[in-house]
Every structure is written in structure tokens, then in C-alpha cells.
Amino acid sequence: MKFIKRTLVSTVLIWSCLSSFGQHTDSSIDQLEIIHCDVRMEPPEWALLERHLIDLLNGAGIAFYNTYVQKDGTMRFKERYEGGMNSSDDIYEAFKGFSLHTALGGTEELDRLHRHAWEGITQQFTRYGQIYREFDSNWDWMHHGEGYLDFYTLGMIKPADSLFRDRSIRFAAMYVGDDPEAINYDPDLRMMRASMTGSRGPKMEWTKRDWIPTNANLVYYGLPLDDIPGIHTTSAWINDHPDNDLFAKLVKGMSDRMAKGDVPLNLTSTPLIATAYLYTSDPRYTKWVKEYVGAWEERTERNNGITPDNVGLSGEIGEYTGHWWGGYYGWMWVGSGLHIIRAELTSAKVTTLLTGDTRWMELPRSQLAMLREKGKVIDGTFLIPTRHNENGWHHFNRERPSDYVHLWFPSQDQRDWNQIERLAEAQREHSGQITDTDLAWAYFVKGRNPGFAERALSSDIKTVIRKVEFIQKEHGDPETWVDNKWILSDPMMVDNLTRLSIGGLPIRVQGEMLYSQVRYFDGDNQHAGLPPDVAALVTRIDQDCIEIEVINLNAFRSRKLIIQGGAYGEHQFLSVEYQHVADIQPPARNLRNPRNGVVDQAVSLSNRTLNATAFAVDLAPGSGSKLKVSIRRNASQPTYHFPWNR
């Protein structure tokens, strides 16, 4: 720890000189309410660790880029790649932390490199044949969701970037009905027309070619259907003997029942539509999201409170399967029906963001409650069923804590917190501690898990160092690499930085956007993210209040920190309580030894009325404050635009 302190002090001194050049202010920033915090503080351990991690990630991201990305932005990879429907998602996903880190306080260079790589990857996979018109031709929203995680973060750094703004509008058009070449959505029945969609429209029929080379991986999973004559083992995925082509039979059986019509997984498309809204504020996008999510609410109600996993082109539940279960990535699916709940959580958070109404969280809440009701205690542990077929509910597993944390975060509903508490206390009883990171963080922001911040940041620092060592030793042949190569190498450990600095939910890889209690901006340089040398920690989250600790580690220069309510300015700040120096007593002076003089700080609390989506904090050198901010949630229109440009 002493080494980190010495290193950071040196870094701060160097950076303070560099960052003093090119600073400028804007009169619109000056219109924000500003509080002055001048209480000098000993740097807390969490703050030193946080800034060390930010700096480490800056270098790690650049090392990753320099190792795997070519000058034109394309990845070091195969000259030819025939991946069927399997496309670019894993490669895009490897950059999910780049612009996000910039938004948290990392270097703007990572965002610049990310944009260049996005262009290169898009061109590369267009050449491979998977991408058409800059968007995946045909794939499911499990993989679309993974692939466009990084796309959603770009607007947080450059909301006025017309190139990516226009792309968000074009991509959304493929789903809201504005693109005649990609009629993926039926507005009359409020449903997607296929489980696999994209820039070429809905894919109504699957062939063997579509599933190569993915089929080789699927051998290690269970069968998606268990009633196809002659198919009893997963080796059917690679058994294409001309006398008995089991692979063809399997794909035909899946295509007949799973290709056409809508599935809950398609709810994962809603962040793509929300992105277009955040750029444009066009209410048509909100209308579409409400319409589509509302359709799945109605189908769930019609199906006795259980979300059906397949809807035919006529709008009939079970039109091709004969059951409400058996659809693509549905209740019968080998990966479990929890994919349905994850997609419902994704869309519920989007709809809550766009409408300001938390009642949209009820759909995933109802499905979690339904599974709990069907749960049972097995060998002393409460388990829930995660799959359903003709034999009923089966495949009992432990509940997934992250689902409840993602439910509670936007709702702030005591019912959801009770489930978090139930799972956390069960872990404590079983293991003596909370073992799940999401639960551990949830307890931390309720004041019930001290030391979590330091432990989490220290762990991430060690992991990033190991990742960088791996990257630096890279010597493989790109022609032999598989498409998830870069996910394994990705050093951008930003999950705990997201949790701790902005009180945010880590972006789940199956298609999430960022959600957070606050976001920060550098008021001096008008950039997204924490200013240089500034550290922040969200220490408490309540329905009507959040608490944040902020500190300027630079001993010589002040910093202007802009704090925004929510990731997109959706929350309104009512007031802020903060610390400042009330009076400075003259030092007791010994004329023979003037170094004996000591300055005492009389710390005072003040309260400032805000009624705004953002405010500024003037942090004096080496100073900080605990901030207690009263908040009205979901009271403002969300947008990518910076708070001084709303």
C-alpha cells in the first residue's frame, strides 16, 4: 500500500503539470450550481486504489489494442472466416470496456481507439460475409446483445458524433419498421417475425450451413430438442454421414419449430432502440419499446402468469411447438429458461429509463416469484426449476443473485431488497460470508459490508496485471485463433469501478446498457469521466438519497467535478449536504521554531438546494467531502448529451 501511495503521488505531480495545458471553461458549465469543498483530507486507501486502477486500465487497454489490432482497425485474425451465422459479437464484445472506462475517468485515447477498431471490425466482418450494411445480417439477440454492448457506450463520450448517431438511427430502423429491407417487426401483432433477425430481415428457415462451425461447440451442451426420431446424443451436431445425416435432421427439427415467430430473447433488442432515443429524444422510440414490452406482458397474462417462450407468425402462443414452452432460448433450452428472465430484466430497465415508471419491473419480478413458488429444498439448499418440458418443471438450481440486484436497482422496492437480503443471509449462514459479488456490493451500499471497496479494487488491480502479462507474452498465430480469443485476453476490469465510483450496475454481457446512480464529468476540460486526480465512491443508495465521498488527490491544483443524476441525467437532484472549512484558526506560532505551527480545520456542514439534473463541485487541492444528495428518481428525460448541453 505504501508503494501505491508513493507511486500515485508521483503520478499526480506529473499529471498536474500535463493537465494544466489546454484547459478551458464554458459559460454554460458556470450556470450549474456549484459547491466549494476545501476540507483537506488524508487520502483514503480506496481512493488511492481507485486512481491506481484507472491508470493501470489506461495502459492495459492500449497494450491490448497494440497487440491485437492492426493499423486499419481490423483485428489480427484469419484471412478468411466462414462462420455461418456466428459473427462478430465476440470481437466487438472485447472492446466493451474501452469507452466505458473513458466514461468512468479513463483516458480519452481508449475511446478514440475503440471507435477506430469498431470501424475496422465492421469492415472486416463485412468482408467475411457476416455483416451487411454495418449490422449483423442474421443472428439471435443473445449474440446481437453481446456484440452491441460496446456500441451503446459510445454516445456517453461523444453524443454529438454524427457518424455513430446516424448508425444508431439506421440500426433502430431495422426493428421499429422504418427499413423496408429489414422487416423484422410486425407492428400489427407487436411481435418480431423470427428468432433470428438482422440487417437482411428475419431468417425464417435454418440450414446446416447456418450452424457451422457453431455446431462443433454445441456438442458440449445438451440437445435443444429431445423428441426427434433417431437423435439421442449431442454427437448429432457433428454427425452428417450421407446415409444418416443426423445433423440435417436436428437443424430441420429446430428450424420447423424455432425459426419463425417471436421469442422473449428478442426483448434484448430494446437497448438498441433506447440508444437511438438517447441520441435524438425522438418519442417514437419510447412508444415502440412500450408497445413491444407491453405485448409480452399481455402474452404472459394470457398464459396464466408464465411468459411463453414462442409465438407464431399469427400471434398464437405455441403455434409451431404445440406448447407454451419449447421455443428458441426458452424454458426447454439447454442453457435454461433463465435467459427469458434476463431478457425481461433488460427490457424492463430500458422501459423504466425511457418512461420513468418502475411498474415495468413487474414482469421479471413476477417470473422470479413464479419460479420461487415452484422451488424446493434439496439437500438443505433451496433450489428453483430452470427448465420445463412435457414432464414438467425440472433442472433445479440455486437462484441467481444478480437477477434480484438488477431488479432492486431501478425499482428501489423493498420487496426486491428483501430477496437480496434473503440470499445474502443464506450465503452468510452457509459460508460464513457473502460470496456473491453483486450481493456483497448491495450490502456495501447499505452500510453493511465495510472494506468491500478496498478488497474489490485490490483484486482487480492484481487481475489486470496478470492480464497484461498474458498480453505481453502473446505469440500465437492468428490463423489458429477462434473468435472468442479476445474476450479471454480483455484486460478491462471495469465492473467494480462501475459499482464503486458511480454506484452502477456492471454491464451484463447479454445486451445491457449502463445504469448508475450518478455519472461524472471533468468540468475544466468538458470531458466525460472523473477529472484527473479525483476519486469518488458511492457509499449509500436509498430511494430518495445517495451518499458519495469525493476527494482531489492533487495537492497543488483544484479540480472541478460535475456530478449528474443517473447515467443519462434521468434523476433530479433536490439538494446536497456537503463539508467545507468553516474557519481557519491561526497557527500557534513558536518564533524560535516556526515549523511547529499547525493549522486546524473547523469543518462545517452546509446544504444547497439544487433542483437540477447536475451540479458542480469545486475541489480544492488535497481536499474532499462526503456528499449527501437527496434525489427524485426518473424525473428527467434521459439523454446522452452532457449536463451543460441539455
Per-residue pLDDT, 324:
98
Per-residue pLDDT, 587:
55
| 562 found inside a domain | yes
| 570 found inside a domain | yes
CA distances, 218 to each of 34, 329, 334, 497, 643 (Å)? 57, 14, 10, 34, 47
- How high is the mean pLDDT in each 10-residue block of the chain (646 residues)? 44 36 53 97 98 99 98 94 76 97 99 99 95 96 96 98 99 98 98 98 95 87 91 93 93 97 99 99 99 99 99 98 97 92 98 99 99 97 96 96 98 98 96 97 99 99 98 93 88 98 95 98 98 99 99 98 99 98 62 49 94 98 98 99 96
Give me the CATH number covering residue 611.
Answer: 2.60.40.1180
Angle at which helix 437-444 crosses helix 414-431, to 10 degrees, equals: 120
In single-letter form, the type of residue at position 422 comes to R
| 330 found inside a domain | no
The residues that bridge with 527 in the sheet, in sequence order, are 522
Per-residue pLDDT, 3:
40
Per-residue pLDDT, 2:
46
The cell numbers describing 27, all together, are: 459559460
| 567 found inside a domain | yes
> How does DSSP classify residue 359?
G
Per-residue pLDDT, 273:
99
| 408 found inside a domain | no
| 107 found inside a domain | no
| 564 found inside a domain | yes
Structural domain tally of the chain? Answer: 1
Per-residue pLDDT, 320:
97
Question: Which burial class, exposed, middle or buried, applies to 334 when counting CB atoms under 10 A from its CB (0-12, 13-18, 19+)?
Answer: middle
Give the domain range for residue 573. Answer: 2-53+498-584+600-645
| 519 found inside a domain | yes
Q: Closest by alpha carbon to 239, among 223, 259, 256, 260?
A: 223
Q: Is there a contact between 126 and 487 (Cβ–Cβ < 8 Å)?
A: no
